Amino acid sequence: MNIPKNLEVAEVLRQKKLFKSELNDINTKHWKDIHYKEWQCILKGLEYIPIKKVNPRHNQHNKVKVMRLNDGYIFESVGDCKMQEGIHGVLMRKLLKEETKYKKVIK
């Protein structure tokens, strides 16, 4: 694929009113594959939705373990407990605060 000119990119983005596009800020010489994919979608008139990676937990060493009180099962983290039990975050915080069904395990 030919590298488009910066003025061409700017003009097309201005016509399509994509003022906040990342392509406005990057020189076409420094484009990567994701930029070319976005450019192709813009030219075809399609909406480009980039695939975002799942961000890993930043602090792997200080996970708070959670214990289910009725059978003593220990979850590795609050997030694991929410996912496995299917509990909403607000309800999970409430249950941990009340310590009726779940309890934080402190090392």
Residue 73 has pLDDT above 90, yes or no: yes
Average pLDDT for 57-77: 84
For the stretch 26-63, pLDDT in tens is 888 988 888 898 889 888 988 777 666 666 666 666 78
Euclidean distance between CA atoms 31 and 3, whole angstroms: 9
Give the residue extent of every domain in the chain: 6-44, 60-105
Predicted confidence at residue 57, as pLDDT, reads 62
Predicted confidence at residue 56, as pLDDT, reads 62
For the stretch 80-97, pLDDT in tens is 898 898 888 889 989 999
Predicted confidence at residue 69, as pLDDT, reads 94
Q: What is the secondary structure of 31-72 as a DSSP string? A: --HHHHHHHHHHHHTPPP-PPPPPPPPS-GGGPPEEEETTT-
pTM above 0.85, yes or no: no
